[in-house]
Amino acid sequence: MPNYSTSAEIDASPEAVWAVLSDVEHMPDWTSSMTSVSIIDGPNPPDVGTQVRIEQPKMPLAVWLIDEWDPPRHFAWISEAPGVTTQAEHLVERLPDGRSRVTLAITQTGGLAWLIGKLAMGRTRQYVDTELAGLRARMSS
Reading the chain (141 residues) residue by residue, the pLDDT tens digits are: 559 999 999 999 999 999 999 999 999 999 999 999 999 999 989 999 999 999 999 999 999 999 999 999 999 999 999 999 999 999 999 999 999 999 999 999 999 998 888 888 899 999 999 999 999 999 998
Q: What pLDDT score was predicted for residue 116?
A: 84
24-56 burial string, b = 16+ CB within 10 Å, else e? beebbebbebbeebebeeeeeebeeebebebeb
The domains of the chain are located at 3-140
Q: What pLDDT score was predicted for residue 118?
A: 83
Cα(120)–Cα(13) distance, integer angstroms: 33
Angle at 26 between CA 66 and CA 89, to 5 degrees: 35
| Level-2 CATH architecture, domain 3-140 | 2-Layer Sandwich (3.30)
pTM above 0.85, yes or no: yes
Strand partners, 6: 104
Are the beta carbons of 28 and 21 closer than 8 angstroms?
no
Are the beta carbons of 79 and 65 closer than 8 angstroms?
yes
Which residues fall within 8 angstroms of residue 11, CB to CB, at 6 or more apart? Answer: 99, 139, 140
